[in-house]
Structures are given as structure tokens and as C-alpha cells.
Structure 1
Amino acid sequence: MTRHPETTVEAASCSELTAALNNKAPKQPLPTTHASCLTESAGAVREVARKIGKTKVKWDNPKSVMVITKPGDYSLVRMTRDLALWLIETPRYGLPSGITVYVDEKLKASKRFRYKKVLRRYPNAVDKLKFWNPEMCVLQPKMFDFIITLGGDGTVLFSSWLFQNYIPPVIPFHLGSLGFLTPFDFDRYDKHLTRAMENGVRINLRGRLTCTVYRQVPHMNGASAAEGKAVQFRNVKRNPVTGKITVGGWCSSTKKSKQKKFGEVDGEDLDDDAVALAEGDADEEDDMAEQRQIPCFTTVPVEKYEVINELVVDRGPSPYVSLLELFGDDKHLTTVQADGLAISTPTGSTAYSLSAGGSLTHPEIHATLITPICPHTLSFRPTLVPDSMELRICVPYNSRTTAWASFDGRGRVELKQGDHVKVTASKYPFPTVCKEDQAIDWFNALQKCLHWNKRQRQKSFAVVENNRGDKVTQSMPSAPSVRSSNGSSTTRSSATTPSGKPSQHPPPHSPPSWPVSARRPPLPPSGSSNASDVALDEVFGLFIDDDDRSNYFENDTTTNSSTSSLQDESHTSIDSEEDGNESEDIDDLNDGFIGWSDEEIAKARYMATVVRKLEEL
């Protein structure tokens, strides 16, 4: 068999790629075919992706941390202050003090934060306590080793909104409402952060979407400004046999034609060879071709956003149904006639997409969810497509009204007829720190926050026999077994022993006194009591929830008490100092801590862009 030189070069490159992915030295190219090499490379990529999720990341010497506090929740201001002081005052890495902490710049004016009193009481805070603003997040995103969020899921989304490119790993603490993305408990923040900085963490690289808004621009060949803004049509012929589309010249007449108009074509999607065809060059075989006129226009990118949940294109305040055209890899997929369309990430599958009937998707799956919002059809089902597919959501010219797009619930913009949004997979993932690992955290959040598949267990018809002794007595049910603190399984005996003597244990009708170490919840009440119901608990194991398990294995109460006492001491000492200019009863409206608006963040991004341009010059 003759082998072409190009095939050998491709096989050698694939072998080097496979060796690099396996962290091995490149070997001599083997005489393999291109298909087998592609399979080996795909397998190596999957293996590397599997290892990434199980790899621990450890900071050598973290120097600075950023704390993002939920705006509007004034109860978190003192928590932010206590956390910052603990990070600053705790000695680490052989140094007398801790690490530098950046808190929200608007906390400086907060009366609850008491910035001046903190500086007077803690000298290390003069150099270690600093403030961040949105412009700093744009210009110097890598100056923070990791980020701590105090709030709920919205605070995590806000951190993604601040860092539109690279973002440091995020440690989210649950101080909000739902807490699907916040697995860490703030009451034990000292243990969580100490373990993260000393032992390392597992990172969950959540995929984001890059959403680029394209706006229509006037035609350059227009004689006047009005003609440039007007819709320009071109003659198009479609062969009904082969499906080939031939684009002709511009339509010279603006009067109504009997030819049917359909769809729209983006200017960048036109083939140069097809545009170069001259008018009137149709052959005799094109006499039966379908002749139509299509609107042609040019669009340019004007805005770009990175989203971690979803892009939502809806009808906005209009009472009419939305009319959108959905394209995938420059191919028309379908026409959307609905209240809107949600393009979600796997992380956003439990957000708006879930409310619209979308599927639950694990964050490690590389996919994009297409979920219609109240479609006016029975057959438009939610769909998952690979994240390598480039999606475009267009507003056609024959739409009755405009559409509105929102990005993670922020930055809402209007899409006029002719505008569209391009959605691609982002090259900047969103790293979150796992409490245990990716799978356990996700399923725990499903069961805890959404009560996924929680239902009372169905009772069995079978009678499960008791094998504790040679004689089995079904008339006297036995108590269920429990697991003792040393891990062995013990069983409660009946009210009478086999010898007929009364037992020292309580009778079955009285509630059993469970050991404190087992922390078993009480059994649900039942309408009937028989041998099968009670013996069924002896067969199945005892499962403990995460909250009960953390309490079950928690033996170091001294550390918690000492840490809490130090926090209470610092909290009381700062708040107890009286200031003649400040009142102890602080009004929530006059606290001074408000969040960053979209206008302020947009202005900071603009100023950061100007600074970068000046540095280049």
C-alpha cells in the first residue's frame, strides 16, 4: 500500500500531541493510520480532562485575597470585617501577620464597617487592608490569588460579571437564599480557609459563554443617508433540484414585486464567488429556478459579554410573540416563535433553563443548552448541542417588534430588526473551589436546594425474617438496628428474651433512646405496625446527610469555641468604642454600603480600555 507523505506527517504530529497530553517524551512516529491516530488523541484528551477534575491545586504562598460582599445586606458588613481581620491577623508561612485582604471600596464609607476604628486597634490593617473597584478587576485580575464571596448565588454571578476575562478561583460561602453554587458554611470559615490554603483545593472549571452583539450598519453604496439606512434587497435564484443558491445583483426598483421574500442573510455569510456573479448570466437550465429577493445587510460587533448562567432573548415589554431565527454553524436550525429563547451553560441548567423546562446538566459536560421560553408549538423541545457549535440568534426584518437580550440577568440591551447575537464557548472558564468534588457537590446541591427525587419510600409486601436467633417470632416485632459510634452494628432486642425473662430494654411501643453519637433522626410515624415494616429497617443501611455527618465526625469543639471567642472579642471591642460623631443605632438607608451599578461597571471598563490604549502608545 502506498502511503502519502502528508499522511505520515499528520500521524507523527498526532503522536506528539498524544505524548504531550500524557506528559511523556515524544516517541518515534508509528506506522498508524490517520483514523487510529485521531482515536488515540481523543482518548488522551478525555483522560486529561478526567485528571483535571481530580487534581488538587495548592497555592505556594498566597499574598492577597479579594472579598466580595453581597450589596444591600447590611448584616454581612460586620462578617466581612471579622473575616478580613482574621485573614490579616492570623500568622501564616512563617510571617508575623497574615495575607493582604481587598474588600469592596464602598465599605470604606460604611458605618458598620468602622474602618477608622479598625486602623486604630489593628496596626497590621494599615498595610494589609485594602479596597478593590471594578477598574482594578479589569486591569489587574491576576493580582488576587483567590476570591471569597459572602452571599448567595447572585454574588457568585456578580463575581463573573466583574471579571470578564481571567478570574481567580472562587470560594463561595452560603449567606444567601438558595445557595446552589455556595457549598461552604460561613460558621466554619476558619477551618475551610485554613484547609484550602495549607492542603490545596479541587477546582471545578465551569464553562462560560461569550455573547457578542452585532448591530446593523448602513450600506456604503447608498447615495444618501436615508438610502444607506434603508433595507437593500438582492436577486437570488435557487435551483429546486440541487438546492444551489445563486446571489445576483442589487435590486434597482423599490416597488413591490410579486416575488416572495424570505429570511435574511448576514453580510459576512455571503460567498465572495457568489457575490461576484453578474446579473443576467442565468442559463437556460435556470429558467425553472425559484427567483426571490432577500434583504442583505452588514453587521459589526459592538458589545461582548461573558456569562456563566445564560443568555436570554425575549420579547421584552411587547405584547407580541417573539420571532427569532436560530442558526448553528452558519446553518439555519429553526424559527423561534415563543416568548423568548434561553441559551444556557451546564451551570445555568438549574437556573432560568430549569424554570422553562430544560434538562439538568452536570457542569463537567461540555454542552450548550437551547431552551425555548413558552413556545407556541408542541414540538419545540429543549436541546443540548456541543459547545463547539457557534450559535446565532437573529431578529429578522419581518418581526413585528424588537427583542431584548440579558446576560446573566444584567446588561439588558435591545435588539432591533437586523441585529443578532453570536454565542460561542468562552476561553475563560469560571473556577470554583469544590467542598468535596464536582459530582458530590452538584448532587448534594440538587437534593438540598431543589429536593431532587425526594419521596417517601414505598413499603414492601414481603415479610423480612429476623435472623438474630434460631427461633423467629413474627408476632413480636423487633426494633431496628442502629450503628454505634465505633462502626459496629447493634440491634435492639424485644421486650422479652428467648428464655421468657423480661428484658432491660424498653418495650417496642415506647420510643427507643438512641445514642447521641449516632444522631439518627426519629422514624416517621406509621399507620400500621407489622413485622415487615420494622424488619425492613434492619436490612437497609443507615444513611446520614451531609449536615448530620459533619456533626457526627465533629470532635474538635475546642477550636470552634476558641475561634468564636476571638471573633466575639474583636467584634465587641470595635463596636463598643464610642464615637461622638457616630450613633450606635445605624439606619439601613444611611449605612453607606451600596452595590455597584451596571453604569459604574461599564464606565470602569471603558476607563480601563482607555488606560490600555494609552499604555500601548
Structure 2
Amino acid sequence: MIRGLQVNLRSESEPDGGTDAGELQHALEVVFDAEAAHRRKSSIVAATGPRPKAHRMHTNCYVHSLLDKQDGIYTPRYAPNGEDVAQEHKADKDPSGYSVSLAQSRILTKKQISDMAFGIRELAKKLAHIRLRMDVRNVFVLTKAHDESLISKTREVTEWLLKKDKAYTVYVEETLKDNSAFDASTLVDVDPSYQKRLKYWTNELCHYKPETFDIVLALGGDGTVLYASWLFQRIVPPVLAFSLGSLGFLTKFDYGAFPDILTRAFKDGITVSLRLRFEATVMRKQQRGDKYKTRSLVEELIGDEGDDDHTHRPDGTHNILNDVVVDRGPNPTMSSLEIFGDDEHFTSVQADGICVATPTGSTAYNLAAGGSLCHPDNPVILLTAICAHTLSFRPIILPDTIVLRIGVPFDARTSSWASFDGRERVELCPGDYVTVSASRYPFPGVLPLDRKSKDWIDSISRTLNWNSRQRQKAFKEWKS
């Protein structure tokens, strides 16, 4: 049974006597023990460092039960040395100290984040070549609750699932409970058993109990898939997306054939593609004493003042599938931004904004801003300026083991605004910044079994008419 994908990476050698293979592989979250997770100055990872202990956390999510042989993914124990310890700082610019709720990817050491990213990529390769058979019980149906045409399709799918198998419990959005177009009362009147098997999900249920659902059926366009990513900020159930939107980079299935598609998926299994997500955290400046009347963001993040715990505090974290955008917002002038990578100051930018995109998001705002197309299997971070003031600023592709920070300098004329997959738009005042790093919670999308290997090329050819032109005519030689 698969109830959301989560991976636990081992950070120690196997204990004496060995461990049952069934205990080595869970679903797709990479877990590090809270007691040993170290944080470094400026909310970045250290260059090197000891691996923390990661005790096994048992959940209801068992990817290993879907695999015939799975030895688990683990790394050997590393002994700390003096240099490593000297590079570690326990406070992530958070005077309240460490808490489990703030155990984010940005506070892992360089070694930890590299191992985490590598482990996810290795599992993604394995999942891409096998078929996962699911014991489906709880089906999550997601659609735009304000679109009348999609509401009728949601009812159609819900009714089909309830009739198909009495073992299925179907969850639809709570706003549809009293919706006249969905007409839940008439649906329940068909069969009394539907009363207990038709349930309603809320944002809180998605956040606190994502393991409740075995699979997500998304009815809509790419925005609906992004909405699924926003709802499930941690563990994400496999998402099977039906194409009912405009483009369809992420929606792989034809709605007209949904009975056959779902029958085959539930009976024969699915193939999952793991998409890299980013974790973005807003860091707010804190007030300091009178002796700090003139403050420098560069000095506070990578200079001697970077050791000070009281310069910034975290203010909200988001896992995103497409991109993090920091732009000028309603201001009539350009944004002034500082960009940092790990413990280096990359550059100062004057532009309409900066787009930090995942490989999945390379075809979204990144592409419109002049960034590169990128295959979703690439372990990279795409950094693209939006209408930069200098022609020399070119898009850059960075490894996914870097922790980026984009900040508004203290002497900036105006504030900037940050958005996360186009949502949760917040103002960044001078002195604030955003950290962006690879997330421990990837996004599992279901691929069509018959065309999974060429799916991405098909999507850009179909939606962008990529490299499409009239074929050049051949020469016809003249013969005298």
C-alpha cells in the first residue's frame, strides 16, 4: 500500500545482526534526527560536517512493500573532526533556538544536503523503471471548486469510483458538500453506503494527515497540479493528473478515457516520476542595538557579523514545485537584490526581479524570462533575472546542493515582493531575504505506462511547438 511517498535515508551503518529490508525503505521524506541537525550562520549549510543520527521513523507509507528487493539507501557513519565542528553554529539566526518545526533543508550541512539529494535521485531512478501496485482505498479528488464544468466532471469521477468498488472511499473538497452542481445529496440517495464512503477534505487534513490518501486525482490544468503541491507541503501522495486545462506540461492523461485509465492504474499499477521541489524560507531582519545604525546585508550573512544569532528570524517556509520569484511588486522602479550561494556573495542585481526555478518550472516563468529549458531529471537550480538592468547578466544553472539566498539590501530604495508557485505573496523589506534549497519532500507524478520514456519531449513539442518549422526543401539538380 502506498500512502504518500517518503524516503528515509540511513546515516549510520546497519546495526549488528542486520535489519529487515522492510524497515529500510519507507516513503519519500528524507529524515534527519532533530537532536543532531546542526545549523550554520546565515541559514546555510556547512562545507563539511558530521552526519547526524537518523533513527528510523515508522509511518504508514511503505514504498518498500511495492518493491521485490530493496536494500535501502544509507551512508556510512562519519566521525567529526575539529575543523568540521568549528564550521558549525547551532543558531540559524533564530534567537529562540532550535525546534523540530524549523528542521528545514537549509540548516543541513553540505554533506547532509548532498546525500539527501543523491538519495532522492537514486530512488527516482528506481521508481522510474518499475511498476508500483497499490492497494487503493482512499482516493483524493482535486479540482477547481469554482469552475462549473469541472464540478460536473468531479461528480462523474466520484460516482464512478463509488460504484466501481465498495472498498473505495472518495474525498472531495469540503466546499462541494453544499454545492448544487455537485449535488451530493442526490448522489448519496443512489446507495446508502455512499454516505460513509463519500468524505470531504480540508486544508488541515492535507497538512496534518497526508498519509490518509493513497492517490490524488487532479482534474484541471497545470495550475491544479501546483495546487496539489501547495496542499501537501510535506509528504505528497502520487498525483495522477487529467488534462482539462490550456497547456498540460504536468497533466498526462486524457479525461475522456478516465474509466480505462483508473481501472488499469488500480489493477496493474503505476509508474512514478519524482520531481524535485524547493524549500523556500522567508528570513526577517531583527532590530539591533544603537551601535548597528548602519547595517550591511553582505556583512551580516557572510562576514564576521554572520555569527550573530540575532540578525534574522525565520517567518514561514514553503515547498514549491515551479519557482520562487522575487520581484519589484507594485513599485515603479527596479528592485535591488543581493544573491548569495552557500557562503559566497554571488552578485548584486538591479532588475525587475529574480526567478529561481526547479527543472519542472523551467517551462514556466523561467522560460518567459529567457531561461533555459531543462529536463526534469536534472539535479539543478535555475537562476534567471527578469529584465536585468545590465545586458551581461545571463541565466545561470547551479547544482541542487547549493543553498541560495536572495535579499533586499538595507540601503535599497524600495522593498521587493516574493511569491512561491504564484502563491503566498509577501513583502520583503530592506534587510529581509529568502533562502532556497532542495526540499526533502519531492513531488511524485504518475506517468503513462505506454509513453513514460518520451513524455517530457512530447510535452514541449506539443505545448510549445518546440523546433517546429516547415521542412527545408531539397535541391533538384539541373541537368543540361
TM-score range, shorter chain: 0.7 to 0.9
Flag the 1:45–1:101 CA change in 2: closer, same or farther, 3 A.
closer
2:391 to 375, 378, 382: 378
Task: State the AA in 1 paired with 2:236.
Answer: I
Flag the 1:216–1:174 CA change in 2: closer, same or farther, 3 A.
same
Flag the 1:133–1:45 CA change in 2: closer, same or farther, 3 A.
closer
Structure 1 residue 298, shift from structure 2 partner: 0.1
Is 1:89 the counterpart of 2:163? The answer is yes
Is 1:130 the counterpart of 2:130? The answer is no
Flag the 1:187–1:333 CA change in 2: closer, same or farther, 3 A.
same
Count how many residue pairs are aligned between Structure 1 and Structure 2: 374
Mapped to 1, the partners of 2:419 and 2:120 lie a distance apart of 34
1:78-477 alignment runs, 5 A limit? 78-91=152-165, 97-219=166-288, 222=289, 227=290, 231-233=292-294, 264-266=298-300, 270=304, 298-436=311-449, 438-461=452-475
Structure 1 residue 51, shift from structure 2 partner: 2.9
| SS of residue in 2 equivalent to 1:389 | coil
Residues 297, 431 of structure 2: 8 Å contact kept: no
Residue deviations 1:183-215 (CA, integer Å, cap 9, x gap):
101100011111111111110100100000000
Structure 1 residue 119, shift from structure 2 partner: 1.4
| SS of residue in 1 equivalent to 2:311 | strand
Structure 1 residue 49, shift from structure 2 partner: 5.1
Residue deviations 1:420-455 (CA, integer Å, cap 9, x gap):
001110000011000145541111111111111111
Flag the 1:23–1:83 CA change in 2: closer, same or farther, 3 A.
closer
Q: Give the alignment's TM-score, normalised by structure 1.
A: 0.57
Task: State the AA in 1 paired with 2:281.
Answer: T
Residues 268, 298 of structure 1: 8 Å contact kept: no
Mapped to 2, the partners of 1:120 and 1:43 lie a distance apart of 51
Match of 2:106 in 1: none
Match of 2:129 in 1: 54
Where do 5+ consecutive residues of structure 2 fail to align? Answer: 1-12, 19-23, 26-68, 77-114
Flag the 1:395–1:44 CA change in 2: closer, same or farther, 3 A.
closer
Flag the 1:183–1:48 CA change in 2: closer, same or farther, 3 A.
closer
Residue deviations 1:496-547 (CA, integer Å, cap 9, x gap):
xxxxxxxxxxxxxxxxxxxxxxxxxxxxxxxxxxxxxxxxxxxxxxxxxxxx
Residue deviations 1:259-299 (CA, integer Å, cap 9, x gap):
xxx65322686379x98xxxxxxxxxxxxxxxxxxxx9700
Q: CA RMSD of the aligned region, Å?
A: 3.1
Where do 5+ consecutive residues of structure 1 fail to align? Answer: 1-11, 30-40, 92-96, 235-261, 276-295, 464-617
Mapped to 1, the partners of 2:452 and 2:344 lie a distance apart of 35
Mapped to 1, the partners of 2:157 and 2:219 lie a distance apart of 10
For the pair shown, the structure with the greater C-alpha radius of gyration is 1
Percent identity between matched residues is: 45
Structure 1 residue 320, shift from structure 2 partner: 1.3
Residues 207, 430 of structure 1: 8 Å contact kept: yes
| SS of residue in 1 equivalent to 2:172 | strand
Match of 1:63 in 2: 137
Structure 1 residue 232, shift from structure 2 partner: 3.3
Task: State the AA in 2 paired with 1:397.
Answer: F
Mapped to 2, the partners of 1:24 and 1:135 lie a distance apart of 35
Task: State the AA in 1 paired with 2:464.
Answer: L
Q: Which runs of 4+ in 1 moved over 4 A?
A: 20-26, 41-49
Structure 1 residue 358, shift from structure 2 partner: 0.6
Structure ranking higher on relative contact order (CA contacts 8 Å, 6+ apart) = 2
